[in-house]
């Protein structure tokens, strides 16, 4: 294996780490091969790029929090999140995981779409009822001049629909608020992990 | 060798090697390999970690038309090395006590049992 082959495979296995880390590793090994007299021998004694990448990822995962002169103990703040991230990283290293991950993303999107569809149908129903209510009132009042009873009935129906429509709209509003709060919470937790990881890298 | 060097012990060895003078990645790896049986690909994560923990500094120096990255030990790194060295002495004594226990008993050691 040449140095370039080693490095390009290493780069592939390291994908998922922050760019800064990948470039640091690539830079190190580029120089390493440049300094070695026999590139092929150096690559051979380095072993497999996959294992080298695994060691780099593992070393990165248990890295203590960013430089703090007072901290002597290894901090595992967000340790559980970091471990989950590592597992995901290792999973992404395997060629099988990408379609699995894609399927996961599609499932999550599908859930979102279902929620949105449900909300939209509520709003549509509410709007339709309101429209019917307004129509009933608009037709009922002039209708009373032709046939009092019919006009009054239409007006009454219109008012009924209007009231019902208001109730459904209020329900739709309540559900919208609750589900958007849920979504914000979910997205917030996911990005919090990412943010704490990013902050630790700086 | 039946025992492996890894983790903090390897950190200590790298720091010790660099306390004797700055070195670039390849040379440092070869020097350490002369004494210890380490896998060469283990060296990079160790050095990267020591660097992010500010025990090591890096700087580039020109060499034959390109730049060569050198690692140097920091003040913080020297303090850590002292701590490692002290701990290693203690560690050596304790392991000796256990592994060489019978030997010591035969020689009639006076610090018996703790």
What tens digit of pLDDT does each residue of B71-97 get? 999 999 999 999 999 999 999 999 999
How does residue A65 score in pLDDT terms, banded at 50, 70 and 90?
Answer: very low
CB B69 within 8 A of CB B58: yes
Kindly tell me the sign of the dihedral angle through the C-alpha atoms of B16, B38, B28, B40.
negative
B-facing residues of A in 31-60 (CB < 8 A) are: 31-32, 34-36, 42, 45-47, 51-52, 55-56, 58-60
What percent of chain A is predicted at pLDDT more than 90? 21
Q: Residue-wise over B27-54: b if at least 16 C-beta within 10 A, else e?
A: bbbebbeeeeebbbbbbbbbbbbbbbbb
Strand-pairing partners, residue A15, are A17
Closest CA to A37 of B48, B27, B59: B27
What percent of chain A is predicted at pLDDT more than 70? 74
For residues A9 and A14, give the distance between their C-alpha atoms in angstroms, rounded to a whole number.
Answer: 9
Chain B residues with CB under 8 Å of a chain A CB are: 24-27, 29, 39-42, 44-49, 52-54, 66, 68-69, 76
pLDDT of residue A72: 38
Closest Cβ–Cβ partner in B29, B41, B68 for A52: B41
For residues B61 and B57, give the distance between their C-alpha atoms in angstroms, rounded to a whole number.
Answer: 13
Q: Do B40 and A47 make contact, defined as CB atoms within 8 angstroms?
A: yes
Q: What are phi and psi of B57, to 5 degrees?
A: -115, 155
Contacts of A9 in chain B (CB under 8 A): none
Determine the distance in angstroms separating the CA of A102 from the nearest CA of chain B, rounded to an integer: 31
Minimal Cα distance from B75: which residue of A? A69
How does residue A108 score in pLDDT terms, banded at 50, 70 and 90?
Answer: confident
CB A201 within 8 A of CB A66: yes
For residues A29 and A14, give the distance between their C-alpha atoms in angstroms, rounded to a whole number.
Answer: 13
Q: What are phi and psi of B83, to 5 degrees?
A: -60, -45
Q: Do B68 and A36 make contact, defined as CB atoms within 8 angstroms?
A: no
Q: Tell me which DSSP letter residue A202 carries.
A: -
Judged against a pLDDT cut of 70, whether residue A196 lies above it is answered with no
Please report, in tens digits, the pLDDT of each residue of chain B (114 residues total): 778 887 899 999 999 999 999 999 999 999 999 888 888 889 999 999 999 999 999 999 998 888 899 999 999 999 999 999 999 999 999 999 998 876 655 555 555 544
In A94-147, alpha helices (H): 97-146
């Amino acid at each position: 294996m040449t140095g370039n082959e080693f490095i390009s495979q290493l780069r592939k296995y390291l994908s998922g780490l922050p760019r800064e880390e990948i470039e640091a590793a690539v830079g190190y090994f580029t120089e390493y091969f440049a300094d070695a007299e026999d590139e092929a021998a150096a690559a051979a004694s380095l072993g497999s790029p996959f294992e080298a990448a695994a060691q780099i990822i593992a070393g990165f995962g248990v890295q203590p929090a960013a430089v703090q002169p007072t901290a002597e103990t290894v901090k595992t703040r967000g340790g559980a999140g970091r471990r989950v991230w590592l597992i995901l990283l290792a999973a992404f290293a395997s060629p099988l995981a990408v379609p699995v991950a894609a399927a996961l993303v599609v499932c999550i999107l599908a859930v979102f779409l279902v929620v949105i569809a449900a909300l939209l149908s509520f709003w549509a129903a509410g709007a339709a009822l309101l429209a019917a209510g307004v129509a009933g009132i608009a037709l009922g009042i002039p209708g009373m001049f032709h046939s009092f009873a019919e006009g009054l009935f239409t007006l009454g129906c219109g008012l009924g629909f209007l009231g019902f429509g208001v109730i459904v709209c209020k329900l739709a509003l309540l559900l919208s608020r609750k589900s958007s709060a849920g979504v914000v919470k979910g997205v917030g937790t996911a990005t919090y992990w990412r943010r704490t990881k990013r902050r630790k890298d700086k | 060798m039946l025992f492996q060097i890894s983790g903090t012990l390897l950190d200590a060895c790298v720091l010790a090697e660099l306390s004797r003078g700055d070195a670039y990645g390849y040379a440092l790896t070869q020097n350490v390999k002369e004494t210890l049986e380490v896998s060469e690909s283990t060296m990079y994560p160790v050095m990267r970690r020591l660097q992010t923990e500010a025990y090591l500094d890096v700087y580039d120096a020109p060499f034959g038309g390109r730049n060569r990255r050198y690692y140097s030990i920091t003040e913080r790194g020297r303090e850590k090395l002292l701590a490692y060295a002290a701990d290693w002495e203690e560690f050596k004594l304790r392991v000796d006590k256990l592994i060489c226990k019978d030997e010591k008993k035969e020689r009639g050691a006076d610090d018996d049992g703790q």
